[in-house]
Structures are given as C-alpha cells and as structure tokens.
Structure 1
Amino acid sequence: MTRDAIIDAATAFVLVDIQNDYFPGGAMELHGDEDAAGRAAGVLARFRGLGAPVLHVRHEAARPGATFFLPGSWGAAIHATVAPLPGEPVVTKAYPNSFRDTPLAGLLDAAGAKRLVVCGMMTHMCVDATVRAAFDLGYPVTVVADACATRGLSFGGRNVAAPDVQAAFLAALGAVYATLVVAADLV
C-alpha cells in the first residue's frame, strides 16, 4: 500500500482527542502520549501539504463528577503538537463515539470524504468507538496505530499493561473494522 493510495482529496484525517489532559501535567496521562502525538503531527503535516481534509475532535466532559476534559479547562484543549489551523473544523463531543450527537458526519460529507484515516487517544475508548462507528456508517477506515495512545486497565483482579491494551484493541480493530498502518507508511 502506498501513501498516495491512502491520502487524496476524498480521504479525511480525523484526529481524536489529542488533548492536554492526556499528557504530563494532565489529569489522565497516557502511556506513549508524546510519541503518538509526534507521529500524528507528521501525518497531519502530510495531509495539510496535500490539501486533504483534516478534522479535529475534542472531548468535553458532560457527566457529573467528571475529573478530566472539563469544559473551558487547559486539559480539554487540543495539544499544541496537533493544534488546528484556522479553517480546520473542530468537533466537540461528549461521548466516546465521535459521531454521536455531533456534526462530524455532515462535515465529512461536506468535505467530500469517502475514506478516513484516524489516530488519537485513548485507543481503547474513543478511537475504538469512533472507528467502529465510521465502519458502520460505510467508511473504509485506516488507523495509524503508532499515532494512538492508551493506558493500563484492570478487570477481574488482573492488571493489563498499556502496551497489552494497545495491542488487543488495535488487533480487534484490524480484524474487521480498519486497515492498520504506522505513521511512516503515510509520511
């Protein structure tokens, strides 16, 4: 697969929740956050250079008792590494699925997007929900695996390390929902 086969005017780049709270000093620091954001920035530069559509998604907590992504906070802002340029749409969401109760689908239609390239944070939550929803809406999706980050989880008394969470969720997405690539494949 060549990079030109993936990125064209009908391919939109969707950056999901690359926000300050996921970085050092934030309320929910992730494993591999800075490396993932740096790779996302490289892919972002490529899309911008080709004039292909770019859409940013940011989460604002709407549920009572939320401890991160609080509306108007530094933590809810998009990280400077991938800051939107004037004219690049920013979709604000309150659910893991970036399409739920947002204008994302309409913005993609308006941009003429037929395919999506997705990266972001957290792999096991908002990236997963967004990619599955995009697939259900009929978009062929490519996930930039090394431009995503997550954190460790626990279940049933077992701790699951962040690299294992990352591998499991990417493997599941790659089985049906998306093509998986690394940033170097696109830049």
Structure 2
Amino acid sequence: MSKALLVIDVQESFRQRPIWRASSNPDIVGQVSRLVEAARSQGDLVVWVLHSDPGTGDVFDPVNGHVRLIAPLAEQAGEPVLTKTSRNAFTTTNLHQLLTTAGIRELVVCGIQTEQCCETTTRVAADLGFEVTFVTDATATFPIAHRDAPTGRPVDEILADPRTLGTAEIVTRTEYVLAGRFATIRTVDELTGPVGAALAG
C-alpha cells in the first residue's frame, strides 16, 4: 500500500449553515463516495478527517453533535478517523506519522472546503514530500463575502453583493495555484471511470 485517500471535513457541521444552499458542489457526498469505493477496491488506505472547534458553541463544537460524517458516508474497520483543530490536516493530528508508518507516498485529496482545509492540506503535504492528486469535483466551497462587508448578513444579501467572491472563481483560483506546484488536478471520472461505464461495457 503506497496511496491514501484523504476525505477532509465532509461533515454535518457544514449542512447546518445557511450558506450550505450556495455550495459549489451539491453532490459532494456522491462524488466522495465514488472515490472511497475506488480506493477500497484498489486496496488504498482511506483516512477520514473531521474539523472540531471545542468550546465555541457553533456547528463545529462537538457538543452540538454535528462533527460527524454526512450520511451515508461512514468509515470501515481499519480506516482512521482523525479530528483536527487547524485548517490543514497535519498540524494538530498524527496524520504524518500515520501515513509514514503505513508507507504512504501518494495522497488523493477531496472534501470541504476547496480553498481552505483541502488546499492547505495539499500544500503542507507537498512540502512534506507527498505526491498529491487534488480532485476538485470531489471538493466543495461557498461564496466568500468581501472583507469589508458586514458580518451576519443573510445568504441572499451575500450572494447579491457584487463584491462577493463566487464559487467558480474560488475553484478556478485553487486549481491555478496548486497545479504544477503542489498537486496534479484530476476529476472523479478520471480516477474512477465515468458513472455507468461498467454497465455500458
């Protein structure tokens, strides 16, 4: 085994936020499921990562019960589930030790959010010497309000503000900065084959 799939923060916490309806990828769970099934069939390690912010009282505070995988995603026996408190999956977990001990040199990254935890984990992984594949269409993100915009606005106001950075721009920017530097950009179809291909064959 030399490859691992990192599933980052595909957790119920995000579905509890009003901005969830503006997600760049409403089928994130379906896309991640395809990668998980492919990884398992190939004998690759699947590593699940969840984000936790204890003591905040928000949707990432574990006391509220949302720091869990979005159903029907679920780990199988032997698949590590790590909980992080930083934006990258390495700094506050034993991920590096786990991967090194297992002889992993290649990582496939997917999850939420595209430009935050997924991109940051990819950058750190590349710096640590891993060969990283970033599966953009198995990531999701949300519109980002301008830094000078008032906080706490309804989603409709955020979306209507011309200064808001849209999800297409965010995804494109992430691909540009990662490709050829920190990762190879691939699609779910490229890694698993198109949906229905096996039936058609």
**Do these two structures clear the TM 0.5 threshold for a shared fold by scoring above it?**
yes
TM-score, normalised by the number of residues in structure 2: 0.81
Q: Which runs of 5+ in 1 are unaligned?
A: 1-8
Read off the aligned partner of 2:87 and give its amino acid letter. P
**Is 1:40 the equivalent of 2:45?**
no
**Cα distance, 1:72–1:127 mapped onto 2, change above 3 Å:** same
Residue correspondences, number = 176
Any idea what SS the aligned residue of 1:128 has?
Answer: helix
Q: 1:52-67 counterparts in 2 under 5 A? A: 52-62=44-54, 65=56, 67=58
Q: Is 1:151 the equivalent of 2:156?
A: no
Structure 1 position 10 matched with structure 2 position 2 = yes
Percent of pairs with identical residues: 30
Matched, 1:20 2:12: yes
**Alignment correspondent of 1:95:** 86
C-alpha distance in 2 between matches for 1:169 and 1:154: 17
- Structure 2 alignment gaps of length 5 or more: 149-162, 193-201
Question: CA offsets, 1:70-109, max 9 Å, x none?
Answer: 1143321111233111221011100101000211011111
Letter in 2 for 1:92: T
Q: 2:169 aligns with which of 134, 150, 164?
A: 164
After superposition, what is the alpha-carbon deviation per residue over 1:112-155, rounded to whole angstroms, capped at 9, x for unaligned? Answer: 10110100100111001100110110101001110000001123
Q: Which of structure 1's runs of 4+ aligned residues deviate more than 4 A?
A: none
Q: How many Å separate the matches in 1 of 2:147 and 2:90?
A: 31
Distance 1:155 1:92, change over 3 A: same
1:119-134 matches, within 5 Å, as 119-134=110-125
Contact 2:58 2:64 in 1 (8 A): no
Q: Does 1:69 align with 2:74?
A: no
Deviation at 1:156, TM superposition (A): 5.2
Give, in whole Å, the separation in 1 of the partners of 2:8 and 2:28.
Answer: 12
Give the counterpart of 1:174 among 170, 179, 184: 179
Once residues 144 and 66 of structure 1 are traced to their aligned partners in structure 2, the CA distance between those partners, rounded to angstroms, is 32
Task: Say which one has the larger Rg.
Answer: 2
Conservation of the 8 A alpha-carbon contact between 1:44 and 1:82: no
* Mapping for residues 76-115 of structure 1, pairs under 5 Å: 76-115=67-106
Distance 1:72 1:50, change over 3 A: farther
CA–CA separation in structure 2 for the residues paired with 1:123 and 1:52: 22
RMSD, aligned α-carbons: 1.7
SS in 2 for 1:81: coil
The answer to whether the 8 Å contact 2:57/2:64 transfers is no
The change in CA–CA distance for 1:66 and 1:161 in structure 2 (over 3 A counts) is farther
AA of the residue aligned to 1:35: D
Distance (Å, rounded) in 2 between the aligned partners of 1:39 and 1:141: 18
1-side partners of 2:57 and 2:182: how far apart? 30
80-89 or 102-111, which moves further after superposition? 80-89
